[in-house]
A and B are shown apart, each in its own frame.
Chain A
């Protein structure tokens, strides 16, 4: 069997695949952050908590209302989006004129409150959620045993990322959005309702977090801390990709997932830090991030 640095090449392919799965989560989550930052200039620290809310809602839907996975895949992001819109209307909209720091502090506080609420209701050990019937089982890829559900994660998240990119970069709605980001006053003068667009963007951005939450529900234990474990890495992804860059966040998300996966093989102890090492290097060489444009 061929080996690379003492690791069989087949095992390496397996790890690549897993890196891609984790990268998919990073991609969807950092995409939401990037969209929100691009439009609202808000560093949304409650993103992790809303991702967790998405997963929690999925579980609640099944446990109390008997709503299955597929319905929740649509319903949970919408619910999270509505929560996001409420947050934007009631709190965030007063902070746009102020320093980034205020938005960051507000959303961080919200994250702590949302996590605290679920912790109080359900404890930290979390809830089990089984993989939907249609996706249980696995593909035998020759080099690894890939659970169908993990494959589905890659397909679903990449489709959502592509669709988002298409809408923002290639449609009229996206053009309005980009215009409103570039110069809100001028865009408003052309008769476009900028506050409405901002509100919907925030709703959509956190909806993406909710979507990632639903995807994660069967793959990890659903618990109040699942968001905070992930969110710091996702922020690093956004910084590396370039704040506000859509394509950047998706590509960086996937790429870092793979790099992290490789680190788990060659130097497992460093797997939690490798992303931050890369972040430090990127910031030194390209302060605006790999795909960011300096203003």
Chain B
């Protein structure tokens, strides 16, 4: 008797989720009649100027533009939170959002540590993360979740590859690295080293500095002593800014080329052109590319008082792409929306002919840029010469090299 009861219980428990999803699909409706989008980002710490409030503003703009253009029948809600660069804070917040707030999709999620934790929760709850902020290639390799996670804007491979190739090919073929001593820095360093070696360059050494080091002059003198032609900065945010500043003060930039591997227009703005002129790096977006990017960026600027870098621009694009997929399928069911998003090319101010690959990597053109001399800049925020447009299929890791178990044949 007892046994049978247990058995029925077990069977009904197994059937329940299936029945639930069958019902949802049968109705083809939107859960709670609301599509809820969440922006999880660093609002107050070292990376808050990269994404932060800018990402929230971009998501708001995307929702407004979508409503104006498509007049959707469903309601759209936006929530946001600060993960303080802590994986536990981020994953708890996201769990709460999924469980009790009816959130369907989470975006931004900068900081690789937080992103990997949030990816796990998202997969477990079968929701969607369109990651526009984190750098680690693990999101589409070792920790890939192609049914739930899209890595939308950039990754360490793309950042490393552009300058690793272009700068080495210019004859600046010996490199020394200044690396932030944690997962992100190591992986950026590794990817760049591989790119350098693949293009006939050599790596003379590396120095690992603690995150948020207060002074970089000592590390830079070591880089200088290595006599490498290029100093690669495998760090981000405030660390990059202070490294560049010290390099200038010690006259290192006169003899050696600095390559900030993760640098965006916001960092350049904070440092000024006098200090940064001549630097080369890869960006996923530049506001002053064409009429469309300028139009979008000026609207963004009027709200946020800063030009967008690739993170907010990517967040705008991701939210827009997601909403279009919901509109087209008439549901917020994860599988249906993911299928639609992967089937549709992305064409907006951020990406032209962008495509979400089966491993979850969004492939789009990247830009190898060089910072202008102060005299060449015609207006505020006019900072880059775009040296090269790197086509998506060259910018990102090829599918053949993928370490994603879910798509391996």
- Which residues of A come within 8 Å of B, CB atoms? 8, 11, 14-15, 18-19, 21-22, 116, 119, 123-128, 130-131, 138, 144-145, 147, 149-150, 219-221, 223, 225-226, 229-230, 233, 261, 264-265, 268-269, 271-273
Q: Is the pair B245, A14 in contact by a Cβ cutoff of 8 Å? A: no
**Given A123-B49, A124-B46, A225-B46, do A271 and B221 touch, yes or no (CB 8 Å)?**
no
Do A128 and B275 touch (CB < 8 A)?
yes
Q: Chain A residues near B245: list those with CB within 8 A.
A: 128, 219-221
A-B pairs under 8 A by CB, number: 107
Q: Is B123 interfacial (CB-CB < 8 Å)?
A: no
Known: A145-B250, A220-B214, A230-B214. 17 other contacts (CB 8 A): A8-B225, A15-B218, A116-B44, A124-B238, A125-B266, A125-B269, A128-B275, A130-B274, A147-B250, A220-B215, A220-B242, A221-B242, A221-B270, A229-B212, A233-B214, A268-B208, A269-B181
Contact with A along B257-286 (1 / 0, CB 8 A): 000000000110111101100000000000
Known contacts being A145-B250, A220-B242, is A124 close to B49, with CB within 8 Å? yes
- Give Cα A268–Cα B207 distance, bound, in whole angstroms: 7
B268: nearest chain-A partner, CB-CB: A125
Residues of B near A268 (CB, < 8 A) are 181, 207-209, 219, 222
Chain B residue nearest to A223 (CB atoms) is B238
B213, closest chain A residue (CB): A272
Classify chain B: how many residues form its interface, as a range: 35 or more
CB distance A123 to B215 under 8 Å?
Answer: no
Complex-state Cα separation, A32 to B150, whole angstroms? 51
Chain B's closest residue to A224 (CB) is: B44
Find out whether the CB atom of A128 lies under 8 angstroms from the CB atom of B270. Answer: yes
Report if A18-B221 is in contact (Cβ < 8 Å); known contacts: A125-B269, A221-B241.
Answer: yes
Is B380 close to A, CB under 8 A?
no
B199 at the interface (CB under 8 A from A): no
Report Cα–Cα, A265/B221, bound state, in Å: 10
Q: Do residues A125 and B218 form an inter-chain contact, with CB atoms below 8 A?
A: no
B214–A18 touching, CB < 8 Å = no
The 4 A-B residue pairs with the shortest CB-CB distance, nearest first, are A272-B210, A125-B270, A125-B49, A264-B218
The 5 sampled A-B contact pairs (Cβ below 8 Å) are A8-B225, A219-B245, A221-B271, A269-B181, A273-B210
* A127 lies within 8 A of B270 (CB): yes
Please determine whether A138 and B215 come into contact, CB atoms closer than 8 angstroms.
no
* A22 CA / B214 CA spacing, docked (Å): 9
Residues of A within 8 A of B219 (CB): 264, 268
Residue from A15, A21, A119, A123 whose CB has the most chain B CB atoms within 10 Å: A123
- List the A side residues contacting B218 at CB < 8 Å: 15, 18-19, 261, 264-265, 271
A265 to B209, CA, bound (A): 11
Tell me if A131 and B221 are in contact (CB < 8 A). Answer: no
A34 to B221, CA, bound (A): 33
What's the least CB distance linking B371 to chain A, in Å? Answer: 14
Q: Which residues of B contact A272 (CB under 8 A)?
A: 210, 213
CA distance A125 to B271 in the complex (A): 9
Quick check: is B217 within 8 A (CB to CB) of the other chain?
A: yes
Q: Are B272 and A271 in contact (CB under 8 A)?
A: no
Contacts of A233 in B (CB 8 A): 214
| Least CB distance, A53 to chain B, in whole angstroms | 17
| CA–CA, A87 and B279, complex, Å | 44
B235 to chain A, nearest CB (A): 13
Inter-subunit contact A269/B214 (CB<8 Å): no
Chain A residue with Cβ nearest B249 = A147
Partner of B217, one of A18, A125, A265, A273: A18
Q: Find A14's partner among B213, B221, B246 (CB 8 Å cutoff).
A: B221
